[in-house]
Structure 1
Amino acid sequence: MAWLMAASASSPRSSSASVQPVPPYERPALTKGYLFPPDKKPARLPGFHTCVGSGGQRQTAEWYKENGIEVLYEDPVVAFDGKTQTLKTSSGKILKYGSLIISTGCEASRLPEKIGGKLPGVHYIRDVADADSLVSSLGSAKKVLVIGGGYIGMEVAAAACGWNLDTTIVFPEDHIMPRLFTPSLAKKYEDLYQQNGVKFIKGALIDKLEAGSDGRVSSAVLKDGSVVEADTVVVGIGAKPVVGPFEAVGVNREVGGIEVDSLFRTSVPGIFAIGDVAAFPLKMYNRIARVEHVDHARKSAHHCVETLLTSQTKAYDYLPYFYSRVFEYEGSSRKVWWQFYGDNVGETVEVGNFDPKIATFWIDSDSRLKGVFLESGTSEEFSLLPQLAKSQPIIDKSKLQAAASVEDALEIARSSLQSAASV
């Protein structure tokens, strides 16, 4: 059995071909704890190898050897032959497989080279080498420009605050995190970032990045002609699935990635795809989706391998989940940790004053709770969120709107959950 990139289970006679020189690790750390200044206890390997983040074993190089898994480091697959069931790596090695799991993930979207996308001092974050390069730049930086107001942009900007750097974020939308945050919710976080010295340039596009006399990036020219000085630029404008040599297996043209069924089987017998690269049926919302999240990577891997080893036929039933943790370095005046479960569709009800808690509830036209967001909750409160999003109870919107606190609102939601269970 040959597995590509990271796999979340072990099996005799299995192998994994990787583009990196180290065993698989959990990427969220790269834009969070890894970017902390040296005096603020930054995360480092082997501290976040798979699957420590979910309470599993730390899968170091020794772990793979002990479990009979051959890992080919810095030797990615470059060719695939479904008829002969073989793979060819960049070194020329031929791998024969019985079952193949494609878990090639995503790669960072990049600015074109012709507008300065490859200038020294311009960074993208997808692997440890990228993060190391950025940490090196932050150590001597004076002005940091972050391009993109999504997860990467906001997490990098928060880390830059820990270095006490002049930081600016530029993005084309009206507010940060537009795919999830409501304008009201976004404003709360924008205010917090501004209190930490971060400047926002909204509704703006990059025309080009320019170099100084030393060849290193020195500024960004926006489409409106204005110029933003920066000696370090971090680009966080999204990611795209790495289909690589496997396009012939079957690509979904709407969401990208390799199309699979509810057991992660592709259209080719014996070939599976998991994690970010998999376009799978999102059962609870009846649509095909790709989910770029470590939680889905773990769970899809487990489901796929269980299918392989036990012939299970239970459909994968994933509940969308997103989170962020920032400003967690020593000396921070305010740490941020939010979680979201479900689907952000319908009308919203916002409860709380962000001191420190705030919650947002998404309710559809049938008064069903579709999604819920919570900042700075307790463990018990966070554990309630997936129950609510999964059950989608009918909830009294007027009661939520009248709630005096986040705690009261969550209790109203909990009661709706209990009422639904008793019907």
Structure 2
Amino acid sequence: MTHFAVIGAGQAGASLVARLRARGFDGQITLLGAEPAPPYQRPPLSKKFLLGEMEEARLYLRPEAWYGEQGITLRSDCTVTALRPEAREIALADGEVLRYDRLALTTGARPRPLPVALGGDLDNVFAVRSLADIRRLAPHVRPGARVLIIGGGYIGLEAAAVAAQKGLQVTLIEQAPRILGRVAAPETSAYFRALHQANGVTIREGCGLDRLLGEGTATGAILGDGTHLDLDLVITGTGILPETRLAEAAGLTLDNGIACDAHCRTSDPRIWAAGDCASFPRGADRLRLESVQNAIDMAECAADNMLGTPRAYDPHPWFWSDQYDVKLQIAGLSTGYDRLITRRDDRGARSHWYYAGDRLLAVDAMNDPRGYMVGKRLIEAGRSADPARIADPATELKELLRP
């Protein structure tokens, strides 16, 4: 019987095996995951789950029994030690060796670690990537505790919002000149800076960490400008690294992640990749996207190609972030924009529309689902809209979708 194996039981891996069955594949499917839990959602971990508003079972993408019902062998708490493409073998930590006919790597990403030299090995320094991370962190999240959050991207800002809502004293530092500097316009940065400051968060931009203080446990920090802070815990939000170590040891080509062609195939013709770990061609460049949408869509494309249905991966990226009572929805990629149009309404909705010349590239929508929906549909259709009409609050946005 033909055997398709998938290494990595996150959003991408779960989506890929579901797609294989939905497309009629009747061979053997094995999904290998390093964590003890079945595939689960990551976005709610640092929000509703940490706030105590969601039980663990609600995180699961599907009930654990579903995999057996579909004839999918789910191997949780399973460590892969080596991949041998020339023999089509997967070596496991318990000594077992699995053979495959086709393989997908959906190994995801891991948090960028805080260097040990700065105190990254102290026991109250936490990442917010996995269930295990949140279980370690949760007992420390208590009213009045002093927390330092390192990194002003979406991970750090979402952690700051939850900590502030739980009554902690929150200081967030960002070494770059402004929060969200890599991913958003200064106007979006200013919006979220003001939001966090209104909720009691101290934000220090252009300020990095010199070192943490303490033996075994972090009790304080010296910032790059010499400021001393007393601390009870530290949360790192300095980004993620694509999990490519297994692929690299197996000799697969890497380029900002596991390098794939337009059909999600790696440098080995029997191996595909998808999700946070994989990069793909986008025009003259290569792109790697870190989002739930990309994990699902790329995994489904990889599954189709594994089944012999050629299909190029051509995504229309979208993202979201929840902070306090604000839902940020992002459509498109703003790279290369040269003009920003701001739209507001009397209900507090706000959106930022990124243009390169007359071409609409992306939209940041804050509590503005209509703006997001219209912007997303325009971008997906390769259309733009008159910036003056966007800026005019009297414009009914749905009119912009008419041919």
Quote how far apart the aligned CAs of 1:98 are: 0.5
Deviations 1:264-322 (A, max 9, x none): 1112111000111111123xx5531011111110111111112223x222211101111
Q: Which residue pairs with 1:124 in the alignment?
A: 127
Kept in 1: contact 2:101–2:270 (CA 8 A): yes
Separation in 2 of the partners of 1:197 and 1:396? Answer: 39
Distance 1:92 1:164, change over 3 A: same
The runs of 5 or more residues in structure 2 that have no matched partner are: 22-26
Kept in 2: contact 1:249–1:258 (CA 8 A): no
Distance 1:75 1:354, change over 3 A: farther
Q: Give TM-score scaled by structure 1 length.
A: 0.86
Quote how far apart the aligned CAs of 1:186 are: 1.6
2:8 to 5, 10, 14: 5
Structure 1 letter corresponding to 2:39: P
Separation in 2 of the partners of 1:82 and 1:410? Answer: 56
Structure 2 letter corresponding to 1:167: V
Quote how far apart the aligned CAs of 1:262 are: 1.6
> SS state of the match for residue 117, structure 1?
coil
Q: Which residue pairs with 1:230 in the alignment?
A: 231
1:22 to 15, 33, 37: 37
Structure 2 letter corresponding to 1:211: G
Kept in 2: contact 1:370–1:392 (CA 8 A): no
1:149-298 correspondence to structure 2 within 5 Å: 149-211=152-214, 215-247=216-248, 248-253=250-255, 256-282=256-282, 286-298=284-296
1:47 to 33, 47, 58: 58
Separation in 1 of the partners of 2:374 and 2:312? Answer: 24
> SS state of the match for residue 272, structure 1?
strand
Q: Which residue pairs with 2:314 in the alignment?
A: 317
2:360 counterpart of 1:369: yes
1:55-204 correspondence to structure 2 within 5 Å: 59-139=62-142, 142-204=145-207
Q: Give TM-score scaled by structure 2 length.
A: 0.90
Quote how far apart the aligned CAs of 1:108 are: 0.2
The runs of 5 or more residues in structure 1 that have no matched partner are: 51-58, 328-334
2:299 to 298, 301, 307: 301
Q: Which residue pairs with 1:35 in the alignment?
A: 50
Q: Which residue pairs with 1:340 in the alignment?
A: 330
Q: Paired residues, what number?
A: 385
Quote how far apart the aligned CAs of 1:16 are: 1.8
Structure 2 letter corresponding to 1:117: G
RMSD: 1.9
Quote how far apart the aligned CAs of 1:24 are: 1.0
Deviations 1:304-345 (A, max 9, x none): 112223x22221110111110122xxxxxxx11011111212
Q: Which residue pairs with 2:24 in the alignment?
A: none
Kept in 1: contact 2:142–2:168 (CA 8 A): no
Deviations 1:374-411 (A, max 9, x none): 11124x5443232112234243233434x1x2xx4562
Deviations 1:99-133 (A, max 9, x none): 10000000000111122101121101221010111
